[in-house]
């Protein structure tokens, strides 16, 4: 399968919080472990973040007794505007994809986050869209 056969997923969410607070939640293990790759029926058992370009992350969500790892490497960190990282779930595929998080401040003091996930297998596009929507909703709940 060639890169042109892959899907690009884009989801957006508005937050009543400043861009800095929303951005920092992605790189703070205690906060990120509450929303990033967490599932309603799973238990986040590990959230490790090396928040630097070239640094890696590892999140482990225990689902029905099975540990599912979510891994990646940070490619760009431009606080509070842009975060780019590779992403993979080794239990399901050895392939890595690319995720870009862009955060724009709004005049009301809140911000708008747009997440773009490139390289998604077409069979997983709908599931991936739903997963990121759930994650961005979870981020809002984490921020309170």
Query: In whole angstroms, how far apart are CA 84 and each of 28, 76, 95?
Result: 15, 5, 17
pTM: 0.94
- Cα–Cα distance between 81 and 72 in angstroms, integer? 19
Q: State the angle between helix axes of 125-143 and 19-27 in degrees (0 to 180), rounded to the nearest 10.
A: 110
Q: Could you tell me how far CA 64 lies from the centroid of its own chain?
A: 22
**Which helix (DSSP H) or strand (DSSP E) does residue 41 occupy?**
none
Under the banding of pLDDT at 50, 70 and 90, the label for residue 3 is: low
Which residue is listed with tokens 């999140």? 59
Cα gap 131→38, rounded to integer Å: 10
pLDDT tens per residue, range 34-64: 999 988 888 999 999 999 999 999 999 998 8
Q: List pLDDT tens digits, range 99-112.
A: 999 999 999 999 99
Domains of the chain: 3-143 (3.30.530.20)
């Amino acid at each position: 399968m060639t890169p042109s056969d892959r899907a690009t997923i884009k989801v957006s969410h508005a937050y009543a919080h400043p861009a800095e607070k929303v951005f920092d939640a992605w790189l703070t293990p205690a906060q990120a472990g509450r929303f990033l790759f967490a599932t309603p029926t799973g238990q986040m058992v590990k959230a490790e973040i090396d928040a630097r370009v070239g640094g890696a992350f590892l999140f482990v969500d225990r689902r029905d007794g099975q540990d599912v790892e979510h891994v990646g490497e940070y490619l760009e960190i431009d606080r509070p505007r842009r975060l780019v990282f590779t992403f993979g779930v080794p239990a399901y595929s050895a392939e890595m994809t690319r995720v870009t998080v862009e955060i724009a401040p709004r005049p009301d003091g809140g911000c708008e986050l747009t997440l773009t996930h490139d390289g998604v297998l077409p069979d997983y596009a709908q599931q991936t869209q739903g997963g990121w929507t759930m994650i961005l909703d979870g981020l809002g709940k984490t921020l309170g």
